[in-house]
Amino acid sequence: MSTAAPPQKAAPPRERTGGRLSNGAFALLLTAPGLALFAAIIIYPLLSALFTGFFKQDLRLPGREFVGLENFTYWLDGDFLTILKQTLVFTVGATIVPFVLGFALALALNSGLKGSGFLRGLFLFPWVIPGVVVSFLWMWIFNANYGVLNGILMKAGVIEESISWLGQPTTAMLAVIITKTWASFPWMMVMLLAGLQTVPKELHEAASMDGAGSIRRFFAVTWPQVRGVASIVLLLEFIWNFQHFDTIYVLTGGGPAGSTETFATAVYQTAFKGFDIGRATALGGLWMLLLLVLVVVYLRITERKGDAR
Amino acid sequence: MTSTTSTPLSRTDTLRPATTSAGRTSRRRIRKDLLRSRIAAWIAVVVIGAFGLLPVYWLLATALSSPESTFQFPPKLIPTDLTFSNFTALAENDQLIKYLVNSLIVASITAVLSVVVATYMGYSFSKFRYRGRRSLMHLVLASQMFPQALLLVTLYAVFSSFGLLNTYTALVLSFTTFTMPLCVWMLKGIFDTIPDALLEAASIDGASRWRTLHSIVAPLAAPGMIAAGLFAFVRGWNDFIFAVTLADKEKQTLPPGLVSTYIGEFQTAWPELMAASLVVSVPVVIAFMFLQRYLVGGMTAGSVKS
Amino acid sequence: MTTSGISRRGALRMFGIGALGVAGAGALGACAPSGASTSSNGGDTKSKNFDFTSWSLNEEAAKPSIEKIIAAWEKAEKSKIRAVSYPYNEYLSQLTLKLGGGETTGAVHLDIAWLAAVAQMGKLADLGSVAVDAGYTDVALESGKYDGKQYGLPWNTGSIGVIANAKLLEKAGIKKHPTTVEEFEAALRELKGLGGGVVPYAAATKVAQLKDIFPWMQTFGCELLDGAKVTIGDDASIDAVTWYKKLHDEKLIAADVDRFDARALFGQGKAAFYDDAIIGKGVTAAQSKDKTLADAMQPMKRPVLTAGDTPQALLWGGVIAVVKGKGQDAATEFALHTTTDQATVAQYFAERALPPSTKAGLIDPKVVNDTFSTQWTEKITKTATGSPFWQFAQNAQIEEAVAKQVQAVLVGKSKPKDAMKQAGEEVAALIKR
């Protein structure tokens, strides 16, 4: 990750002239507004919610009852692994597919096609159409009985009977991923295109002279230059997809038969459709625990790298 | 290891064929190569373009068709009985304009607030070394993965007790839960690219730390700040669950507004929904076409390492 | 740069302590958000101004009719009604949250299926004294009751039943409406034989409306709830689901269908039967190219297992409830006026085809002259019953639990017997919670 910025950068203005504050205090002062906001609207609500995970509580009724780990075991004995698996399938799928498409398109637009500036602008459409509308649009396209996708496929003779895209477990997950892909590949394309444009032309020319084919040139010249951007878009998209809600909620509501349920939809449905705040927050807690493990592992790895240097 | 201060690249320079002092054979080879990559490029553009733009076309086609023809199967790929009634109906719907205005206001304030707060925080993370810095940074990054539905329950209660429900403030603050971390993280990346030498020089010239930040660093990071703001804007613009819960009809934004207007108890008004979505998206698309160079420049400046 | 490691660990420790502190604070504070129901909202019950919450207030199709009623009231009473609405699919969650937080006051529009869930929160006023002489039909009054108290004034009372397309039936050579399940199945096969992508029965197969299977379970003899005992999982329920699966596999019903889809299919003349509320006729006919379709739509008695059984149908409708406290009196008056004033009721029926709940309303010429409506009342509403699960606050979860299991059967993930056994257990657990 490129943000794990060079740690041993020549230490910034440590001994300062002027200012009455020490550097540390100044740095802390800078973070103060952010931290205050962070604590008030993220950390506090989160901890307060997580605490609820130990209670049996109905969203509609006052009062609650301490039940220990019951809410947690409910998930662990039940759907936790299934939901985890589906969350990962969705997250990975909806990160990789738009990345590949976005990258391919960026490469193409970077090769000097006419009108690529205009095209680039046009492709922003899917990105700024409000997310729920995107989901409804695709719901409309995928509709088993009057959707345009089935219409086209039938006309082309690919299928004989309508396929119920959102009604079967495998195609439903696919449909959800495709929809999310459509909404997010444009911004990945824009970012990657920008990365590609920083690749000096001379490098390509030189590599061409040396007789490198286009694939070799890609790996020798292009990839090292865009690796930074690529890792940023991948990481961000991964993070966003992990807690993504709208697309799945609108398109399948987690169905059919729970086959597209992810953490985000399960927490929401349990809390707001089932009114079971205790169980919802317990699932949220498990999810956070999992994240914590990931972060610690990540820190371990980056720390070791740091030591090696 | 020096970081580049690459100026944001934004123009779509065309890659001209290499015509330097190369031999004839290699030139021919290059030309053939170029042709091949051109063809590949066209195929990619056409295939991915179809995927990207056909749904937009379908959105438009649906928006232009009458309710009776919407449910035909097989659907007519090119609508024959075009009607603009779905669009003209929008002009009379002042509630929709209210939603649009709310969306623009809330998303913009969110963007500005997030960027301001994140600038200080990101600068601190980037240019100072202190205990807990890295943990904080990662906490901020990871907080983007926190379940929104979980925050919602408590935020609702908090806003309610402060009497903030149904206000722009509630929406802005709740959107900030996911935009601020992103902005901090992006801006830290931007500040990393600003050489420390510049700060040192400023300090030698006698500039205070505040002055250094405000008049030397901030202008350099401006494209990045705009980019972060644009991302924050889009995220706020898209939000559904916070908006539906924390605001009523008067202060509601587009996503819940569109849903409650067109996805009803008894019917889904597809053509009207599509027409409305299209109309409200157009101004933002146009704005982004102009601003995309910042989007690109700001975002990559922090990440393109040399 | 090993120091960073140390400092980080130190910081983590610090953060841990801080987090504990915040968690403590959270524990204290958490009572406030969740148990914020201290508010009896203490407002002025005599206020002339009040809120009216209804999902219909935002929907394009319904908004004008309701706004008219509101405007008339405001003018006559010189008061102000604040309109509040949420999208239909989020309505119950949003209302619940806001009622709990003391945010919702005044009159509240409720689907009768939600009444119990909302009434249990203890915030609704008992309208028994108002309702008693207002001229509502017995069925209607019953639909606004929970736990013996009149929490809702019935606004529209109808039912969900089967609608048939007479033209398609004729085309397939079916002379009369099938009356038994056996006849019904035979009719579906005939219809399938017409070809052209006909879905004979556009039954609900998406979770959102799979609760439509309850009347079929009842048709097969499953009572759903016998006293306090959940009977889902008994042989009758398994038979019903097995039958549904058979229809599904033979493509006599289609996958991925909800009410919207069913109407679209029916509107195109691609479905011969589907389940809908009485209002469905107008909606379906409006989105059909075939302008004669409306005349071909007929309400049909749900087929029964053995001739002579009582046809099953689900009661359906809306009530207006009133929240205790601010604006309560005026809101009650408004609710009463909206649901019983003859002119208002008749006009509302004319515009939205939602059947009135008063005896006088039902014999209004505007209603009586609508043969579809009168037939509907005769064939379907007459034997309609509410779902035994409505009395539970967990109704939505119960319906979803069953729907998910049925869906698992339809997509082949589970066997009818196992699925119904599990559904029964889940429902029993939900009722106990």
**Contact: A34, B180; criterion CB under 8 Å:** yes
B280 vs C49, higher pLDDT: C49
Query: Is the predicted pLDDT of residue A146 greater than 90, yes or no?
Result: no
* Beta carbons of B99 and B253 less than 8 angstroms apart: yes
d(CA A115, CA B3): 33
d(CA A245, CA A258): 15
Band (pLDDT 50/70/90 cuts) for residue A73 is very high
CA nearest to C101 within chain A: A60
* Beta carbons of A238 and A95 less than 8 angstroms apart: yes
User: How close A225 gets to chain B, by Cα (Å)?
Assistant: 7
Band (pLDDT 50/70/90 cuts) for residue C220 is very high
Of A47, A253, A306, the CB nearest to C26: A47
Among C118, C256, C405, the strongest candidate for a mutation testing the A interface, having the largest count of A CBs within 10 A, is C256
Percentage of residues in chain B having pLDDT higher than 90: 17
User: Is residue B72 less than 8 Å (CB to CB) from chain C?
Assistant: yes
Which residue reads 């929240």 in tokens?
C323
Token pair in block for residue C337? 């006026």
The end-to-end CA distance of chain B, in Å, is 9
Which residue reads 């960073």 in tokens?
C4
ipTM above threshold 0.90: no
Which residues from chain C sit within 8 angstroms of residue A277, using beta carbons?
Answer: 34
Mean pLDDT of the region C300-325 = 94
The end-to-end CA distance of chain C, in Å, is 55
Q: What confidence score (pLDDT) does residue C17 get?
A: 39
Looking at the DSSP bridge assignments, the partners of residue C109 are C320
Query: Is the predicted pLDDT of residue A19 greater than 60, yes or no?
Result: no
CATH code, C160-312+388-432: 3.40.190.10
Convert A9-40 to b/e letters by CB count within 10 Å (16 or more is b).
Answer: beebbeebeeeeeebeebbbebbeebbebbee
Among C34, C84, C86, the strongest candidate for a mutation testing the B interface, having the largest count of B CBs within 10 A, is C86
**Contact: B245, C94; criterion CB under 8 Å:** yes
d(CA C309, CA C313): 12
Which residues from chain C sit within 8 angstroms of residue B259, using beta carbons?
Answer: 87, 89
User: How close B202 gets to chain C, by Cα (Å)?
Assistant: 27
CATH match of B88-301 with 1.10.3720.10? yes
pLDDT digits (tens, 9 = 90+) for B63-72: 998 877 777 7
Q: What confidence score (pLDDT) does residue B139 get?
A: 82
Pick the CATH number of A85-260 from 1.10.630.10, 1.10.3720.10, 2.40.10.10, 1.10.10.60: 1.10.3720.10
Which residues from chain B sit within 8 angstroms of residue A136, using beta carbons?
Answer: 263, 268, 273
Q: What confidence score (pLDDT) does residue B84 get?
A: 87
CA nearest to A143 within chain C: C256
Token pair in block for residue B241? 């669950």
Token pair in block for residue A148? 């345009």
Mean pLDDT of the region A112-128 = 78
Mean pLDDT of the region A35-45 = 88
Mean pLDDT, chain A, integer = 82
**Contact: B303, A231; criterion CB under 8 Å:** yes
User: Is residue B133 less than 8 Å (CB to CB) from chain C?
Assistant: yes
C32 vs B236, higher pLDDT: B236
Of the listed ranges A110-124, B22-36, C225-239, the least confidently predicted one is B22-36
**Contact: A167, C256; criterion CB under 8 Å:** yes
Of A7, A60, A256, the CB nearest to C1: A7
pLDDT digits (tens, 9 = 90+) for A148-188: 999 899 888 888 888 889 888 889 999 999 999 999 998 88
Q: What confidence score (pLDDT) does residue A304 get?
A: 62
C193: three-class secondary structure by DSSP: coil
Domain coordinates of chain C in residue numbers?
A: 50-157+315-382, 160-312+388-432
Dihedral Cα B259, B262, B263, B269, nearest 10 deg: -140
Band (pLDDT 50/70/90 cuts) for residue B5 is very low
d(CA A100, CA A212): 23
Same fold, C50-157+315-382 and C160-312+388-432: yes
Of A3, A42, A129, the CB nearest to B281: A129
Of the listed ranges B142-146, B163-167, B179-183, B271-275, the least confidently predicted one is B142-146
Of the listed ranges A222-226, B251-255, C343-347, the least confidently predicted one is A222-226
Sequence letter at residue C319: V
Q: What confidence score (pLDDT) does residue A96 get?
A: 96
d(CA B288, CA B283): 9
Query: Is the predicted pLDDT of residue B42 greater than 80, yes or no?
Result: yes
Q: What confidence score (pLDDT) does residue B299 get?
A: 60
Q: What confidence score (pLDDT) does residue B12 get?
A: 40
**Contact: A145, C254; criterion CB under 8 Å:** yes
Domain coordinates of chain B in residue numbers?
A: 88-301
H helices present in chain B, as ranges: 24-63, 67-70, 85-92, 94-127, 133-142, 148-161, 168-192, 196-204, 209-211, 218-238, 241-246, 254-262, 270-301
* Beta carbons of C262 and C199 less than 8 angstroms apart: no
* Beta carbons of C200 and C253 less than 8 angstroms apart: yes
- Which of A295, A183, A187 lies closest to A244, judged by CA? A183
**C residues 5-34 near B, CB within 8 Å?**
7-8, 10-12, 14-15, 30, 32-34
CATH match of C50-157+315-382 with 3.40.190.10? yes
Query: Is the predicted pLDDT of residue A255 greater than 80, yes or no?
Result: no
d(CA B226, CA C221): 66
Query: Is the predicted pLDDT of residue C3 greater than 60, yes or no?
Result: no
Mean pLDDT of the region C39-59 = 80
Of B68, B72, B249, the CB nearest to C84: B249
Band (pLDDT 50/70/90 cuts) for residue B102 is very high
Domain coordinates of chain A in residue numbers?
A: 62-79+261-309, 85-260
Mean pLDDT of the region B102-115 = 95
C232: three-class secondary structure by DSSP: coil
Percentage of residues in chain B having pLDDT higher than 70: 87
User: How close C251 gets to chain A, by Cα (Å)?
Assistant: 11
Mean pLDDT of the region C187-194 = 93
* Beta carbons of A145 and B75 less than 8 angstroms apart: no
d(CA A264, CA A243): 5
Query: Is the predicted pLDDT of residue B287 greater than 80, yes or no?
Result: yes
For the entire predicted model, the pTM comes to 0.83
Percentage of residues in chain C having pLDDT higher than 90: 55
pLDDT digits (tens, 9 = 90+) for B161-187: 888 888 999 999 999 998 998 899 888
Of B33, B56, B188, the CB nearest to A208: B33
Mean pLDDT of the region C208-221 = 92
C218 vs A40, higher pLDDT: C218
User: Is residue C64 less than 8 Å (CB to CB) from chain B?
Assistant: no
Band (pLDDT 50/70/90 cuts) for residue A18 is very low
User: Is residue B40 less than 8 Å (CB to CB) from chain C?
Assistant: no
